[in-house]
Structure 1
Amino acid sequence: MQFNGESLVTSFFTIAIVVTNTLVLLVIAWTEALRNINKVFLTSLTLADLCVGIFITPFAVYSTFSNSWIYDDQKFCHFVAYLLAIFFIAGVYSLSWISVDHYLAIRKPQHHKTAMTPTRSLCWIAFAWLAAVSFCSPPLFTERASYYPELFMCSIDAGPQKPYFITAGILVMFPAVLALMFTNAYLFTKSFSKKRLMYETILIDTATRPRNYFMNFLISIIFVIVWLPWFVLQGYGAFVEDLRYYPHKVHFYLLWLAIGNSSYKFILYVSMSADFRRGLRQLCSRRDCRCPDCTMPENISINFVTVHSGK
């Protein structure tokens, strides 16, 4: 066992991902602070991030200390690699649905309540996770994944299935990416400026809705910025030049910069959302850090599927 810089990076991000997303889930479930964000979609996004810190990165931490994969089992390595792909796709879809929810709430508030009921929201999120699992299901039976010592993780090896990955990836990701582009473009229109003024001066109870909308836009931009270098590197290696001779630290730090995105959102929530800060204060307002109104288990499940929107 040896400690190095990679051990520090993987341990830091694993702890950060688990702690920050656990706090977000507790704020969602145990407080009523997040009134102007669809809790169903936010919960889905947070769970996708939390699963990365529970089911993916801990194995990398072990690998940095032992310099080997935790199990000498190709199937397990294969399964972990595809789990990461599932969480990635589910996270993108969750981001897009949060933007769609804000878009409808601000541009068409009269239709928002009927279009984004808790039941419909759950159905849309179930579809998103189903799309993520479906994308990964056919290759799951081909065992095309390998342990990469440069990454200290298992990574998908497309091999002869490269055409499938490209085609299926475009088909699966295109709706989510298109929705993000369309809904976020609305933030820069005159119509949005007028609506924002209306929320700030008239609809005081939902005045944070436009700011939450912009916050989700920034989260989407950061998501693209941190993942793009890794995908560019992989595309270059797949179509131009073998990357095995590149310094392993380039592979490692680009990937972990992207994986760290699962914890970056917490920083934006704290810095930009007064509602979220209020939720954190409510969460730990008592010495035992428990919500006074959370003694009944059913309250937690109800809060997870309660959608608060502006009228």
Structure 2
Amino acid sequence: MLRTRDTSTMIIFSDSSDDTEIVFTLESLTQAGIIFIMALAIIITNVLIIATFLNFRGPSEVINCYLLSLAVADLLCGVIVVPLSVYPAIVKDWVYGDVICRLVGYLEVTLWAVTVYTFMWISVDRYLAVRKPLRYETLQTKTRGQCWMAFTWISAAMLCCPPLLGFTKPLFDRDAYICMLDWGSMAAYSVTLSILVLGPSLITIVYTYTYIFMMLRKLRSGVPFHDKEYATALSENLSNPSHVMSFALVIAFWCSWTPYIGVKMYEYFTGTKFQIQFLHFGIVWLGFLNSFWKALILITLSPQFRLALRIFCMTICCRYKGRMQAELIGMDPDD
């Protein structure tokens, strides 16, 4: 049975013999629509990134291994985490049970830790390219990069697993319509995990990019280098747009999550909660929107990714033309 209560609210009775009713409001439908569109955008863009990297057969940088890992983490978030919040946003309740809620909360923090650690390895990779330009290809190989990524995923999954074992109950955020783990009930573990994830990552990122931009400034100012071979290799490496692109990825990540972290820290230390539902909804999903920004940054700031994307698109549209075009630029996608 369907009836209209007012211009913005509909009530649908699930069963004539049941008093349970589901209320659809314009606000809930809008928020559910935002989450649904975000899920589609995250899935489409990251599938495109992964397919582009896997299809590319030309010479590529080690940093692509890390970017591929980021895309996989974002895709898992878009496929598993984000879509499960669409229906709860409409009914304003979690309907999938505590087990799924716990798994979603665990996956969120694990993927977040993987992303933070991966940014650390990216900054190390860019640092070595500038600090050791003559030995960079020896120090950083694809195999080594893949090993670091495997270690990152395994260590993040293990570090974040205690709440999954039932030591704490999952919480459904009724403002953002998403399940999260109750870190407040495990204060010691939460602080330890934060130190292990954020400590080395932030210190490494700040140090490495400070050094990179310092060397870039020194090179542009015309400071002489005694070793000409080193100066030439350094100049070539610093001209690589991957430095700026990777730094932009880091900035976009922290810009997306800083509002959420800031509000939560303020509420925790002051003991007061902002009674603004849209504020909490906005800061949570602004953070998850980071999974979409990476594609835009890659397309904008990475010439190699644009080239690989063009080859992939031509390969999809017409495989022969894609092969011919790739051969013209010296990169056969089937090699």
TM-score of the two chains, using structure 1 as the length reference: 0.84
Distance 2:90 2:59 in 1: 40
Aligned to 1:97, the other structure's residue is in SS state: helix
- Structure number with the bigger relative contact order (C-alpha 8 A, sep ≥ 6) is 1
CA displacement at 1:109 relative to structure 2? 2.3
In 1, are the aligned partners of 2:168 and 2:185 still within 8 Å (CA)? no
In 1, are the aligned partners of 2:117 and 2:201 still within 8 Å (CA)? yes
Check 1:257–1:55 CA distance in 2 against 1; reply closer, same or farther (3 A cut): same
Aligned to 1:139, the other structure's residue is in SS state: helix
CA displacement at 1:290 relative to structure 2? 5.8
Distance 2:84 2:162 in 1: 24
Amino acid at match of 1:63: P
CA displacement at 1:81 relative to structure 2? 0.6
Check 1:272–1:8 CA distance in 2 against 1; reply closer, same or farther (3 A cut): same
Distance 1:124 1:196 in 2: 35
Aligned to 1:147, the other structure's residue is in SS state: strand
How many residue pairs are counted as aligned between the two chains? 291
Q: Which residue in the other structure is 1:18 paired with?
A: 43
Q: Which residue in the other structure is 1:177 paired with?
A: 202
**Larger Rg, first or second structure (1 or 2):** 2
Distance 1:13 1:289 in 2: 30
Of 254, 278, 300, the match for 1:271: 300
Q: Identify which range, 231-240 or 261-270, moves more after superposition.
A: 231-240
Distance 1:155 1:287 in 2: 39
Check 1:196–1:172 CA distance in 2 against 1; reply closer, same or farther (3 A cut): farther
1:223 to 2:253 alignment: yes
Alignment of 1:195-206 (within 5 A): none
Amino acid at match of 2:98: Q
1:252 to 2:281 alignment: yes
Name the structure with the higher strand share. 2
In 2, are the aligned partners of 1:34 and 1:275 still within 8 Å (CA)? no
Distance 1:277 1:161 in 2: 45
C-alpha RMSD of matched pairs (Å): 2.9
Q: Which residue in the other structure is 2:265 paired with?
A: 235
Distance 2:306 2:124 in 1: 24
Q: Which residue in the other structure is 2:9 paired with?
A: none
Q: Deviations over 1:163-188 (max 9, x none)?
A: 22012211232122222111111232
In 2, are the aligned partners of 1:283 and 1:290 still within 8 Å (CA)? no
Check 1:88–1:195 CA distance in 2 against 1; reply closer, same or farther (3 A cut): farther
Aligned to 1:110, the other structure's residue is in SS state: coil
Q: How many percent identity over aligned positions? A: 29
In 2, are the aligned partners of 1:34 and 1:276 still within 8 Å (CA)? no
Alignment of 1:157-168 (within 5 A): 157-168=182-193
Amino acid at match of 1:74: D
1:138 to 2:162 alignment: yes
Distance 1:21 1:208 in 2: 28
Q: Which residue in the other structure is 1:296 paired with?
A: none
Alignment of 1:1-311 (within 5 A): 2=24, 4-32=29-57, 35-71=60-96, 73-141=97-165, 142-190=167-215, 194=219, 210-243=240-273, 246-286=275-315, 288=317
Aligned to 1:155, the other structure's residue is in SS state: strand
CA displacement at 1:208 relative to structure 2? 8.3
CA displacement at 1:145 relative to structure 2? 1.4
Q: Identify which range, 170-179 or 251-260, moves more after superposition.
A: 170-179
Q: Which residue in the other structure is 1:307 paired with?
A: none
Distance 1:287 1:172 in 2: 40
